[in-house]
């Protein structure tokens, strides 16, 4: 009887330990996101992020975020961050960065979004950089109910409020006004064909200087053009001299 009770108690303890470990598994260091106004189509919503530190020897220096579909980078503003940290807009999101925080210290910051999209949840894939060059990629999404090892922070949204509608998109932060068309500097592939003398070693070297410059050719092109011109004049003079000798003879 006592043996049965002991076995039963051991089974209960084992089940409890297993349950604790299962619940604790997602608690490894990661990036968390939360918002009190997380509702579809809500406007001027503040979203808070907390990036947990995994290194005890290097501090976090930047958080690169890929925004979910429906949020434009131009619609995000930074409202709270560590001292000296700023937000820079990217093509598909933003980067919050600044002086490295103390090793082992988490980074918390907040953004305000002009309007949330009409969705059930939003994933903010994040790259977390450290002062020693380390990068933690919190970009994975659950598959088949399995919690990923490096989960992206996901914000669940409540249903849109009655009557809520999308507002007009804001102008892109990277938009530029149309301007006059400028022609590209001449390169080895766009320069007109030169006389036969242009195939000389000097002309070839000039053309190679243009192609190997790796830039816009602003300094190498004049040299190449001058070399070709000199060779053309020299070729013409040689042709005139040969003709004069032939007619003179």
Percent of the residues in the chain that have a pLDDT greater than 90, as a whole number: 52
pLDDT of residue 14: 46
Q: Which pTM does this prediction carry?
A: 0.60
pLDDT bin (cut points 50, 70, 90) of residue 246 is very low
pLDDT bin (cut points 50, 70, 90) of residue 240 is very low
Read off the pLDDT of residues 18-47 as tens digits, 9 standing for 90 and up.
443 333 333 456 899 999 989 999 999 999
Q: Which residue has the higher pLDDT, 180 or 109?
A: 109
> Beta partners for 158?
39
Read off the pLDDT of residues 124-183 as tens digits, 9 standing for 90 and up.
999 999 999 999 999 999 988 888 999 999 999 999 999 999 998 776 644 333 333 333
pLDDT higher than 90, residue 4: no
C-alpha–C-alpha distance, residues 57 and 39, integer Å: 39
Q: Which residue has the higher pLDDT, 241 or 74?
A: 74
Contacts of residue 193, Cβ cutoff 8 Å, sequence gap at least 6:
none
pLDDT of residue 37: 82
Half-sphere CA count of 225, side-chain side, radius 13 A? 12
pLDDT of residue 242: 52
Q: How far is Cα of residue 125 from the mean position of the Cα atoms in its chain?
A: 11
For 159, the 3-state DSSP assignment is coil
pLDDT of residue 119: 97
pLDDT of residue 133: 98
CB-count exposure of residue 25 (10 Å: 0-12, 13-18, 19+): exposed
CA dihedral (81, 82, 83, 84) positive or negative:
negative
Distances (CA, A) of 175 to 73, 91, 178: 12, 11, 9
Count of beta carbons in the 10 Å neighbourhood of residue 167: 11
What token pair was written down for 216? 């816009």
Q: Which residue has the higher pLDDT, 1 or 103?
A: 103
C-alpha–C-alpha distance, residues 194 and 62, integer Å: 53
Least confident of 20-24, 54-58, 90-94: 20-24
Percent of the residues in the chain that have a pLDDT greater than 70, as a whole number: 57
pLDDT of residue 53: 96
pLDDT of residue 2: 52
pLDDT bin (cut points 50, 70, 90) of residue 103 is very high
Distances (CA, A) of 199 to 162, 173, 195, 221, 231: 76, 49, 8, 17, 10
pLDDT bin (cut points 50, 70, 90) of residue 219 is very low
Is the separation of the CB atoms in 152 and 124 below 8 Å? yes
């Amino acid at each position: 009887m006592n043996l049965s009770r002991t076995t039963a108690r051991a089974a209960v303890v084992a089940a409890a330990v297993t349950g604790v470990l299962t619940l604790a598994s997602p608690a490894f260091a990661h990036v968390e996101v939360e918002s009190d106004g997380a509702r579809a189509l809500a406007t001027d919503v503040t979203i808070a992020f907390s990036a947990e530190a995994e290194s005890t020897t290097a501090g976090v220096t930047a958080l690169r975020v890929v925004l979910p579909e429906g949020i434009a980078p131009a619609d995000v503003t930074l409202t709270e961050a560590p001292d000296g940290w700023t937000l820079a807009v990217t093509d598909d999101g933003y980067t919050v960065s600044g002086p490295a925080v103390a090793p082992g210290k988490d980074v918390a910051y907040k953004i305000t979004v002009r309007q949330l999209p009409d969705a059930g949840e939003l994933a903010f894939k994040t790259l977390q950089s450290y002062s020693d060059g380390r990068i933690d990629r919190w970009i994975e999404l659950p598959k088949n109910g399995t919690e990923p090892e490096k989960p992206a922070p996901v914000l669940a949204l409540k249903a849109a409020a009655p009557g809520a509608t999308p507002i007009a998109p804001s102008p892109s932060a990277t938009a530029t006004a149309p301007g006059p068309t400028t022609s590209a500097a001449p390169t080895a592939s766009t320069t007109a064909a030169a006389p036969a003398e242009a195939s000389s070693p000097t002309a070839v070297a000039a053309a190679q200087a243009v192609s190997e410059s790796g830039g816009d050719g602003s300094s190498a092109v004049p040299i190449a053009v001058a070399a070709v011109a000199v060779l053309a004049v020299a070729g013409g003079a040689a042709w005139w001299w040969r003709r004069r000798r032939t007619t003179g003879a």
